[in-house]
Amino acid sequence: MSQRTCLSVILAAGEGTRMKSAVPKVLHAIAGLPMVAHVVKAAEAAGATGLALVIGHGADEMRKAAQKFAPKAETFVQEKRLGTAHAVLAAREAISKDYDDVLVMFGDTPLIDAQALAAARQKLAAGAAVAVIGFRPPSPTGYGRLIEKDGHLVAVREEKDCSDEEKKIGFCNAGMMAVAGKHALRLLDKVGNDNAKGEFYLTDIVEIAGAEGLDVVATEASFESALGINNRAELAEAEAIWQARRRREAMLSGVTLIAPETVYFSHDTEIGTDTIVEPNVWFGPGVRIASGAKIHAFSHIEGATIASNCDVGPFARLRPGADLRNKAKVGNFCEVKQATIEEGAKVNHLTYIGDARVGAAANIGAGTITCNYDGYSKFFTDIGEGAFVGSNSSLVAPVSIGKGGYIASGSVITESVPDDALAFGRARQKTIPGKGKELRERFASAAAARKKAAE
């Protein structure tokens, strides 16, 4: 089958009114990725060599989004919503390109398993003209039933049209199917709209193909894989399923999740073996973690690279561009953005490091910040290997601290510091005996006067 070509037609034109959103339904995200992009990934994993997105509501927004997750996809607009077969035919130009297989999928089924799609394609490779993907929900009520006879699919029957006996069937229509490319357009063009809604139903090709003597079969996907998303409650349910799958995958690959149900991954999170993740950690898009790292509780990480044996958190925030090298430490209530923390360097607590380099084995004291933004532009701070920055220091960029440099606590550093130099950037302390008592008495008297005036 590896040599067979395959077009995936993904129907994504629905308005999704039940989402109650200005955003097209299929662009709502699961694990930080639009649900239609999950469908695209499944199609590609199943061997799709061409992609056709049928769009409608929010067409311009859909095209813009598709450039990110499916840059090679062709887009086709369904001007009027006249049924699923009509939607597929919006991609007539793509379907006519003599693909061996045509997969018809829906943009609101983000959990679809690539293996289920590949199984349907296998049926086409074995000679079937149509392979409909079915599933077995806990209750079939409301779903179309797959009517089989002698191992062949003879009809897809809507529940309202089912006999009492057919309503007992638990094998239901998931909506997705694979059609042999050489038959696809002919079968689709034969679909009529002689029904109560006056729509062209994709499922009609089952009986049309059967009437031509073509082989029509059903394959089975899991209930979870076939779930369609219609509202935000179902979106949350799908997110929970996706997260549960990913957590299990991570743990089986050698990652320790102490409280798995509290850890949230993004679609592209990479995490190495022997990494330990404590409770309530959130991984946004673009996170790569090597082996042996420890991510402490309540950390928020996005767009960051974390090398082996690093220690992060608790309550740490790593923003895009954070790059932690081997054995680096970013502790509690620290924020790192667009900065490299080199091997063995420590940013222990209550610190902001942005647009900077912290050299190997350097130590950044509590409350230190890099002042990287002047309201208009960003500037770089370079902290050399083995430097020591005392607590509560402000490093006003652009500035550099040389190798082995030492910054006294409470300093505001506005000029670069040479290697091994000691820098003070604070006012000299002055102590006035008795002045504290005098100030207290003056402030108390003023407060009493204000209170009396207010009465």
Same domain, 64 and 203: yes
Same domain assignment for residues 195 and 215: yes
Show contacts of 423-431: CB within 8 Å, 24+ apart.
425/393
pLDDT for position 92: 96
* Structure-block tokens of residue 126: 């074995």
Last residue of a domain, one of 220, 244, 262: 220
pLDDT band at 359 (very low <50, low <70, confident <90, very high): very high
**Which H or E run contains 369?**
strand 369-371
The reply to whether 434 falls in a domain is: no
Q: What is the pTM assigned to this prediction?
A: 0.89
Averaged pLDDT of the chain:
94
d(CA 409, CA 379): 22
In this structure, are 17 and 130 located in the same domain?
yes
Measured distance CA(408)–CA(428) in Å, rounded: 12
Q: Within 13 Å of residue 416, how many CA atoms lie on the same side as its CB?
A: 12
- Say yes or no to pLDDT of 142 above 90: no
362 to each of 24, 328, 338, 343, how far by Cα in Å? 48, 10, 18, 9
- Would you state the pLDDT for residue 169? 94
Assess whether pLDDT exceeds 70 at residue 62: yes
CATH number of the domain within which 299 lies: 2.160.10.10
CB contact set of 342 (below 8 Å; sequence gap of 6+):
325, 328, 357, 358, 359, 360, 361, 362, 385
Residue keyed to tokens 């309540």: 298
Section 286-291 average pLDDT: 98
In this prediction, residues 135-156 reach a mean pLDDT of 92
**What's residue 384's pLDDT?**
98
Domain coverage including residue 290? 232-423
CA 189 to chain centre: 38
> What local confidence, expressed as pLDDT, does residue 357 receive?
98
Residue 1 has pLDDT above 80, yes or no: no
The helix/strand/coil state of 155 is strand
Q: Are 247 and 174 members of one domain?
A: no
Q: Is 362 inside any structural domain?
A: yes
**Do 184 and 289 lie in a common domain?**
no
Please tell me the total count of domains within the chain: 2
User: What span, in angstroms and rounded, lies between the C-alpha atoms of 202 and 181?
Assistant: 15
Last residue of a domain, one of 177, 197, 220: 220
Residue 157 shares a structural domain with residue 237: no
pLDDT of res. 324: 98
Looking at residue 2, its pLDDT comes to 57
Say yes or no: 257 and 133 in one domain.
Answer: no
**Residue pair 111/224 in contact by the 8 Å Cβ criterion:** yes
- Those residues with Cβ within 8 angstroms of residue 118's Cβ, 6 or more apart along the chain or in another chain: 1, 46, 47
State the CATH number of the domain containing residue 115: 3.90.550.10
Percent of the chain whose pLDDT exceeds 70: 100
431 in a structural domain? no
Please state whether beta strands 363-364 and 288-289 pair in parallel, antiparallel, or not at all (unpaired).
Answer: unpaired
Residue 61 has pLDDT above 70, yes or no: yes
SS3 32: coil
Residues 6 or more apart whose CB falls under 8 angstroms from that of 409 comprise 365, 390, 391, 392, 393
The reply to whether 92 falls in a domain is yes
User: Are both 167 and 188 inside the same structural domain?
Assistant: yes
Give yes or no: residues 297 and 346 share one domain: yes
Provide the pLDDT for residue 364: 98
**Are the C-beta atoms of residues 208 and 130 closer than 8 Å to each other?**
no
Q: What is the DSSP-derived secondary structure letter of residue 136?
A: -
Q: What is the pLDDT of residue 17?
A: 87
User: Could you tell me which of 304, 251, 298, 303 has the C-alpha nearest to residue 273?
Assistant: 251
Tell whether 455 is covered by a domain.
no
Q: What is the DSSP string of 183-214?
A: HHHHHHHT----STT----GGGHHHHHHHTT-
Residue 98, φ and ψ in degrees, nearest 5: 60, 45
Mean pLDDT of 429-433: 87
CB neighbour list of residue 184: distance below 8 Å, 6 or more residues apart: 95, 102
Distance CA 179, CA 10 (A): 14
Identify the bridge partners of residue 33 per DSSP, sorted by sequence position.
Answer: 30
Task: Give the pLDDT confidence of 299-310 residue by residue, as tens digits.
Answer: 999 999 999 999
Q: Are 240 and 216 part of one and the same domain?
A: no
- Taking 80 as the threshold, does the pLDDT of residue 320 lie above it? yes
What are the tokens at 170? 């638990």
- Is 442 within a domain? no
pLDDT of residue 53: 96
Q: Are residues 238 and 203 in the same domain?
A: no
- pLDDT computed for residue 159 by the predictor: 86
Residue 446 placed within a domain: no
Q: What is the pLDDT at residue 326?
A: 98
Last residue of a domain, one of 155, 190, 220: 220
Q: What residues act catalytically?
A: 349
Q: Are residues 239 and 158 in the same domain?
A: no
Question: How wide is the angle at C-alpha 131 spanned by C-alphas 129 and 134, nearest 5°?
Answer: 165
Note the pLDDT tens digit of each residue in 192-226.
988 878 889 999 999 999 999 999 999 999 999 99
Q: What is the pLDDT of residues 361-394, one digit of tens each?
A: 999 999 999 999 999 999 999 999 999 999 999 9
User: 17 lies in a domain?
Assistant: yes
